[in-house]
């Protein structure tokens, strides 16, 4: 025994364990795609916030002398309108920059709405007596048995086509996923010892539901929220494209696409750029969401 | 001539924190029809050396050896395709977890017949006959019915029998059994061991039994190879090993057997097998050895002579006492 | 299997009732008088108004209206289109094959590319192919398909001129075949060039519609494969001396398929949602375009009936997927 003690023992200093946030960040940072996604996302956010400063023109200013001008690098284009103009002579770049505002606004509102309702219902279902649980879950099954976009479309038909209604409709369509996820997480957490301990200690039911259990279910909810952000942007754009979302002349990317559809074979740029913006935003959010999932939920990591 | 001869086999795994040497200069020799046991704690590299032989290690593993020959084939130079003609036919292997080692998506019969289809020219009905025969051979009742069963419908013991049937399908020259009874109930363990040794004797194939259970060794095998931390520390005939272990580790393992306990309290070996970061410089067993001295910590031992069981020790034991200590000092 | 089937069918019933309730509620939730809404700007005379009210049963109490509605459903009566005056079910049936044809082609394309791609990526995990493939899959997964469809049109129809812009069939052909599937009917019709025309019309919509399911299937296959590649039975298969193709493609894939089939089944809903956009863009005469057109035409009987029928299709497909799941997962089949 003394022999082993005389062995050179590797020096080890114990630092305080990293805080949860730091631990999360170091694990998130490993994922190159996620970091790229984060920076692109932040870039779009800055553009959205500074839109009035960055945009060379007002989004609805029409220049009758310059209809369907191509981007500057193409023949006939000029640096006056970097990405060209649309059929009404509006500067495409300015409209895209202002469009970023709408996309973030949409994503934020829809996700907040869907998450709040979904998590609330999910926690209730997880703690409720069987009949209420069954009722809530059946309701969610019913909502999920309609293709999401179709249901959103029909809801907008009821509510009337506008950006706000489109957002409400998409939030309604998205929230069953949150309900299911939250309920599943609550059910696993609820049977754990610390919850029993809280109950034995005489914690009030509401407190146990929202202060004891819910914080431990947050990881998958955050991931779902991030991924829902991209769905929200995508689906609102789709509704806008179908003429059921934001109405012209709002510079919302989907609506811009819809307006320019008839020019697809004549002016590729009016179609290409708004879609590209949607794609890059959605891609950045999905990259980030994948990274979030890997960092927050080691069980799902594996790959 | 030996059926299987491995000289100085080493296996290294690339990990996030550098290389980890799981097998360190191990020799294995198996003669035709012989029964050899490889014994050691978990982490002693006994499975890894056999998986290396089979070519079943993941790509993170680097295998080096001075010699790796089976039945006249040099397994170091052989192509993957040629190796696959030997693996599953002449060398087969069964594993620790019979339940998860069978594919849950296919019937037992399908899985047995698959190996027949791969390595023989038997036609469909011949394969069926052979499968039934094999099932009977390993003592599975109602073989025709069991062939159509899925793995989850079989008990652990039955699954291991099915695995053995699959391993025997092509009349292998060497069967490697990697802890075949560890996951099974105690009552089943004895049955499976008996089945394996009977089959080995009747079929005249060689059997390598990997185990951590000295009790299993005592009852079944001819020769025992003791491994520790990726190294072979002793190789002896089973009787000699039990009577007169030459390596302190073997002695400690034997002393830990309840059947051989002389004191009230069962002796244990303090500490654990060294891992990636606490590998001693000298003898790998030195931190846990009760005979170890400064030389053991500083210097790597070399294998002793054959009559001392090739013990990898500076002071091989004879009758439980270290030898050569005075001269060394 | 039988008890599994029964249990599954039992959850089908309340969901079906819920779906009928939603479809029923739809017309009554519309702001304003549904009949005036349906009549549109032209308006109706008071006499005609009463007649319509009686025809739709709006004068009866709500519960009776609902029972009548469900009664109608079981007799195949889903109302009549306000615009075409044809029964909704008849319209649906005449348009449904077009959507099925497009959807089937898309799902087949997504499966035959997505599964092998996922398998190869998993087997070559971390290498270049894997990274390239997964990046592409993520782009596909993030694709706004209404834009993607327009891009395809710009490139393949506009610049290259290889494919037609829209529709199902060239104008010079008249195909009204027995199956409703243009690929089959055009072959049966014997008109030269008709099949070719059908194929060229189908290519772009299929690619557009298949993109997201393809990405989802490839990603899911890869992660399911990674999950099973470390399993013991895969090692057993390799210990048998089987070729890597057989080990990965039969032993591992067979088990990885179980979650993948679920994903393929779930993508039917995505597919129908995608069909709404794809069909609108390519003027594909299927139910997606029909629904969008009906919403714009305020043909609410059609919207109501279509909503119900589409939800039914999704539910039936989910049921089939569950049964299929039982078929490929022996533990459920016999357990």
pLDDT digits (tens, 9 = 90+) for B156-198: 889 999 999 999 999 999 999 998 888 888 888 888 888 888 8
* Binding-site residues on chain C for chain B (CB distance < 8 A): 231-233, 235-243, 251, 254-255, 328-331, 334-335
pLDDT at C40 over 70: no
Chain C CB within 8 Å of residue B56 CB: yes
Could you read off the pLDDT of A48-92 as tens digits, one per residue?
898 888 888 888 888 888 788 888 888 877 778 888 888 788 888
Average pLDDT, chain B: 86
> Rounded to whole angstroms, how far apart are CA atoms B117 and B166?
12
Q: Where are the domains of chain A?
A: 27-57+70-300
Read out DSSP for C60-125? S-HHHHHHHHHHHHHTT---B-TTT-SBHHHHHHHHHHHHHHHHHHHHHHHHHHHHHHHHHHHHTT
Q: Is the pLDDT of residue C326 over 70?
A: yes
Check pLDDT > 50 for residue C80.
yes
Pick the residue with more confidence: B250 or A10?
A: B250
CB contact under 8 A, C144 and A146: no
Lookup: tokens for A162 = 């506008």
Binned at pLDDT 50, 70 and 90, residue C289 comes out as very high
Query: Cβ of C242 under 8 Å from any chain A Cβ?
Result: no
SS3 (DSSP) at C248 = helix
Helix, strand, coil share (%) of chain C residues, nearest 5: 80, 0, 20
Torsion of Cα atoms, C41 then C45 then C47 then C51, to 10° = -20
Out of C143, C150, C292, closest to residue A242 by CB: C292
The answer, yes or no, to whether residue A128 has pLDDT greater than 90, is no
**In terms of CA atoms, which chain B residue is nearest residue C229?**
B58
Mean pLDDT of C54-76: 82
Lowest mean pLDDT among A70-84, A229-243, B115-129, C76-90: A70-84
CA dihedral for A134, A135, A139, A142, sign (positive or negative): positive
CA B262 to chain centroid, in Å, comes to 29
Mean pLDDT of A190-215: 84
* pLDDT > 90 in chain B, percent: 28
> Are A131 and A213 a contacting pair, CB within 8 Å?
no
pTM, entire model = 0.84
Q: Is residue B69 within 8 angstroms of chain A, CB to CB?
A: no
- Choices 3.40.640.10, 1.10.3720.10, 3.40.630.30, 3.40.50.720: CATH for C88-159+211-334: 1.10.3720.10
For chain C, what is the mean pLDDT? 85
Q: Is some CB atom of chain C closer than 8 A to the CB atom of B104?
A: yes
Q: Report domain extents, chain C.
A: 88-159+211-334
Min Cα distance B220 → chain C (Å) is: 25
Range name among A65-79, B293-307, C190-204 with the lowest pLDDT average? A65-79
pLDDT at C334: 46
Q: Quick check: C232 and B95 CB within 8 A?
A: yes
CA nearest to B51 within chain C: C239
**A135's tokens:** 């009722």
CATH class of A27-57+70-300: mainly alpha
Distance from CA of A250 to the nearest CA of C (A): 18
Amino acid B328: pLDDT: 44
Question: Is the CB of B297 less than 8 angstroms away from the CB of A6?
Answer: yes
Q: Is the pLDDT of residue B63 over 80?
A: yes
Comparison of pLDDT for B294 and C235, the residue scoring more: C235
Higher pLDDT, B84 or C322: B84
Q: Are C314 and C88 in contact (CB under 8 A)?
A: no
Interface of C with A in 28-67 (CB under 8 A): 29-31
Least confident of A171-175, B118-122, B265-269, C61-65: B265-269
pLDDT exceeds 60 at position A8: no
Chain C contact present for A153, CB below 8 A? yes
Task: Kindly report, residue by residue over B245-255, the tens digit of the pLDDT.
Answer: 888 888 888 88
When mean pLDDT is compared across A277-286, B7-16, C97-106, the lowest value belongs to B7-16
Check residue C42 and give its pLDDT. Answer: 64
CB contact under 8 A, A4 and B293: no
Q: From the CB of residue A52, how many other CB atoms can be counted at a distance below 10 Å?
A: 12
Prior bond of C126 cis (ω within 30°): no
* Residues of B in Cβ contact (< 8 Å) with C331: 104, 150, 152
DSSP secondary structure string for all residues of B137-201: HTT-SSHHHHHT--GGGS-HHHHHHHHHHHHHTT--SEEEEESTTTTS-HHHHHHHHHHHHHHHH
CB contact under 8 A, A4 and B277: no
Does residue A298 have a pLDDT over 60? no
Which residues have a Cβ under 8 Å from the Cβ of C246 and sit 6 or more positions away? C237
Going by C-alpha positions, the residue among B173, B29, B164, B178 that lies closest to residue B97 is B178
- What is residue A161's predicted lDDT score, i.e. its pLDDT? 84
A7 contacts in B (CB within 8 Å)? 280, 287, 297
A274 Cβ under 8 Å from any chain C Cβ: yes
What count of CB pairs under 8 Å joins A to C? 138
B220: contact with C, CB 8 A cutoff: no
Percent of chain C with pLDDT over 90: 33
- Give the pair of three-digit tokens for residue A53: 């400063």
Nearest to A142 among C22, C142, C153 (CB): C22
pLDDT computed for residue C126 by the predictor? 83
How many Å lie between the alpha carbon of B221 and the closest alpha carbon of chain C? 24
Nearest Cβ partner of B297 from A1, A3, A10?
A: A3
- Chain C residues closer than 8 Å to B148 by CB: none
Q: Does C320 touch chain A (CB under 8 A)?
A: no
Min Cα distance B188 → chain A (Å) is 35
CA distance B279 to B271: 13
Mean pLDDT, residues A18-29 taken together: 74
Q: pLDDT band for C278, please (50, 70, 90 cuts).
A: very high
Q: How confident is the model at residue B129 (pLDDT cuts 50, 70, 90)?
A: very high
- Give the mean pLDDT of A222-240: 89
Mean predicted confidence (pLDDT) in C5-30: 82
Mean pLDDT within B73-83? 88
Report the residue of chain C nearest B170, measured CA to CA.
Answer: C240
pLDDT recorded at residue B301: 87
Mean pLDDT of B22-33: 89
Residue C227 touches chain A, beta carbons under 8 Å? yes
- Report the range of poorest mean pLDDT among A36-45, A175-184, B36-45, C237-246: B36-45
The answer to whether A242 faces chain C, any CB pair under 8 Å, is yes
The string over B64-95, giving b where at least 16 C-beta atoms fall within 10 Å of a residue's C-beta and e elsewhere, is ebeebbbeeeebeebeeeebbebbbbbbbbbb
> Contact at 8 Å (CB) between C102 and C289?
no
Give the C-alpha separation, C267 to C265, whole Å: 5
Query: Whole-number mean pLDDT of chain A?
Result: 83
Q: What is the pLDDT of residue C279?
A: 93
Q: Which pLDDT belongs to residue A42?
A: 92
- CA nearest to A277 within chain C: C144
Query: What pLDDT, on a 0 to 100 scale, did the predictor assign at position C116?
Result: 94
pLDDT at position A17 is 58
8-state DSSP, A131:
H
pLDDT band at C111 (very low <50, low <70, confident <90, very high): very high
Q: Are B271 and A4 in contact (CB < 8 Å)?
A: yes
Q: Residue B10 — left, alpha, or beta (φ > 0 → left; ψ -120 to 50 → alpha)?
A: beta
How far off is chain B from A187, nearest CA to CA, in Å? 28
Give the pLDDT of residue C117. 95
The answer, for C314 touching chain A at a CB cutoff of 8 Å, is yes
Question: Which residues of chain A make contact with B271, given a CB cutoff of 8 A?
Answer: 4
Average pLDDT over residues B10-18: 81
**Nearest by Cα to A255 from A9, A43, A60:** A60
Q: Give A30's contacts in chain C (Cβ within 8 Å).
A: none
Under the banding of pLDDT at 50, 70 and 90, the label for residue C287 is very high
Find chain C residues with C-beta within 8 A of A286's C-beta. Answer: 138, 141-142
Q: What is the mean pLDDT of residues C268-287?
A: 88
pLDDT of residue B329: 40
Give me the pLDDT at residue C41, please.
62
């Amino acid at each position: 025994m003394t022999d082993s003690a005389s062995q050179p023992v590797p020096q080890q200093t114990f630092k305080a364990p990293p805080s949860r946030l730091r631990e999360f960040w170091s694990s998130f940072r490993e994922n190159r795609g996620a970091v790229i996604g984060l920076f692109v996302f932040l870039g779009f956010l800055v553009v959205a916030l500074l839109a009035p400063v960055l945009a060379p023109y007002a989004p609805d200013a029409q220049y009758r002398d310059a209809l369907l001008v191509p981007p500057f690098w193409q023949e006939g284009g000029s640096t006056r309108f970097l990405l060209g103009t649309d059929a009404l002579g509006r500067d495409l770049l300015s409209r895209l920059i202002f469009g970023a505002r709408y996309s973030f606004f949409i994503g934020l509102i829809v996700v907040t709405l869907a998450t709040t309702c979904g998590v609330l219902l999910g926690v209730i279902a997880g703690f409720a007596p069987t009949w209420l649980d069954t009722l809530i879950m059946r309701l969610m099954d019913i909502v999920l048995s309609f293709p999401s976009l179709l249901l959103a479309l029909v809801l907008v038909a009821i509510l009337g086509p506008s950006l706000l209604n489109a957002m409400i409709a998409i939030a309604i369509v998205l929230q069953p996923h949150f309900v299911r996820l939250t309920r599943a997480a609550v059910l696993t957490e609820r049977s754990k010892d610390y919850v029993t301990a809280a109950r034995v200690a005489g914690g009030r039911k509401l407190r146990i539901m929202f202060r004891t259990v819910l914080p431990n279910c947050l990881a998958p909810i955050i991931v779902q929220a991030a991924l829902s952000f991209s769905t929200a942007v995508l689906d609102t754009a789709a509704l806008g494209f179908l003429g059921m979302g934001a109405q012209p002349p709002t510079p919302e990317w989907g609506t811009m696409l819809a307006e320019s559809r008839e020019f697809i074979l004549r002016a590729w740029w009016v179609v290409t750029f708004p879609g590209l913006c949607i794609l890059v935003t959605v891609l950045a959010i999905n990259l980030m969401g994948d990274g979030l999932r890997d960092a927050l939920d080691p069980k799902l990591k594996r790959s | 001539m030996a059926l299987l001869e491995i000289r100085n086999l080493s296996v290294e795994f690339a990990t996030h924190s550098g290389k980890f040497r799981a097998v360190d200069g191990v020799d294995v020799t198996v003669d035709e029809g012989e029964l050899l046991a490889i014994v050691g704690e978990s982490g002693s590299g006994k499975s890894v050396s056999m998986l290396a032989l089979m070519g079943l290690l993941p790509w993170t593993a680097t295998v080096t050896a001075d010699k790796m020959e089976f039945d006249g084939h040099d397994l170091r130079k052989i192509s993957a395709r040629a190796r696959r003609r030997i693996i599953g036919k002449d060398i087969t292997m069964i594993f620790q977890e019979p339940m998860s080692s069978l594919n849950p998506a296919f019937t037992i019969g399908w899985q047995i017949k698959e190996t027949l289809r791969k390595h023989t020219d038997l036609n469909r009905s011949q394969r069926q006959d052979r499968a039934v025969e094999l099932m009977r051979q390993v003592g599975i009742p109602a073989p025709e019915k069991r062939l159509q069963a899925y793995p989850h419908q079989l008990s652990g013991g039955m699954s291991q029998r099915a695995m053995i049937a699959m391993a025997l399908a092509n009349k292998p020259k060497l069967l490697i059994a990697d802890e075949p009874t560890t996951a099974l109930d105690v009552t089943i363990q004895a049955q499976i061991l008996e089945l394996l040794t009977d089959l080995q004797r009747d079929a005249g194939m060689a059997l390598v039994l990997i185990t951590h259970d000295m009790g299993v060794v005592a009852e079944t095998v001819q020769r025992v190879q003791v491994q520790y931390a990726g190294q072979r520390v002793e190789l002896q005939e089973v009787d000699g090993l039990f009577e007169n272990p030459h390596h302190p580790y073997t002695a400690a393992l034997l002393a830990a057997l309840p059947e051989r306990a002389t004191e009230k309290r069962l002796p244990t070996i303090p500490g654990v097998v060294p891992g990636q970061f606490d590998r001693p410089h000298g003898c790998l067993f030195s931190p846990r050895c009760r005979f170890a001295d400064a030389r053991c910590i500083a210097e790597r031992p070399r294998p002793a002579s054959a009559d001392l069981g090739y013990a990898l020790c500076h002071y091989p034991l004879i009758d439980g006492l270290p030898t050569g200590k005075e001269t060394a000092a | 299997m039988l008890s599994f089937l029964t249990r599954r069918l039992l959850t089908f019933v309340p969901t079906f009732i819920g779906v009928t309730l939603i479809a029923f509620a739809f017309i009554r939730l519309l702001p304003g008088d549904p009949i005036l809404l349906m009549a549109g700007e032209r308006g109706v005379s008071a006499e005609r108004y009463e007649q319509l009210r009686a025809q739709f049963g709006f004068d009866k109490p709500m519960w009776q209206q609902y029972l009548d509605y469900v009664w109608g459903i079981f007799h195949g009566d889903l109302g009549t289109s306000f615009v075409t005056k044809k029964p909704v079910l008849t319209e649906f049936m005449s348009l449904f094959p077009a959507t099925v044809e497009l959807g089937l082609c898309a799902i087949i394309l997504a499966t035959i590319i997505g599964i092998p791609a996922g398998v190869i990526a998993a087997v070559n995990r971390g290498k270049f192919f894997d990274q390239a493939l997964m990046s592409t899959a993520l782009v596909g997964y993030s694709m706004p398909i209404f834009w993607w469809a327009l891009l395809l049109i710009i490139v393949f129809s506009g610049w290259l001129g290889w494919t037609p812009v829209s529709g199902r069939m060239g104008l010079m052909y008249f195909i009204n075949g027995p199956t409703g599937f243009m690929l089959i009917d055009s072959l049966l019709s014997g008109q030269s060039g008709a099949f070719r025309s059908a194929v060229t019309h189908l290519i772009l919509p299929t690619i557009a519609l298949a993109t997201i399911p393809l990405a989802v299937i490839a990603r899911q296959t890869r992660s399911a494969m990674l999950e099973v590649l470390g399993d013991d039975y895969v090692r057993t298969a390799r210990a048998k001396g089987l070729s890597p193709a057989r080990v990965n493609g039969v032993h591992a894939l067979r088990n990885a398929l179980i979650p993948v089939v679920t994903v393929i089944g779930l993508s039917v809903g995505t597919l129908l949602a995608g069909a709404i956009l794809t069909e609108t863009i390519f003027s594909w005469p299927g139910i997606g375009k029909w629904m969008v057109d009906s919403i714009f035409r305020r043909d609410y009987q059609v919207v109501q009936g279509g909503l119900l029928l589409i939800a039914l299709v999704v539910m039936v497909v989910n049921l089939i997927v569950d049964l299929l799941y039982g078929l490929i997962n022996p533990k459920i089949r016999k357990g």
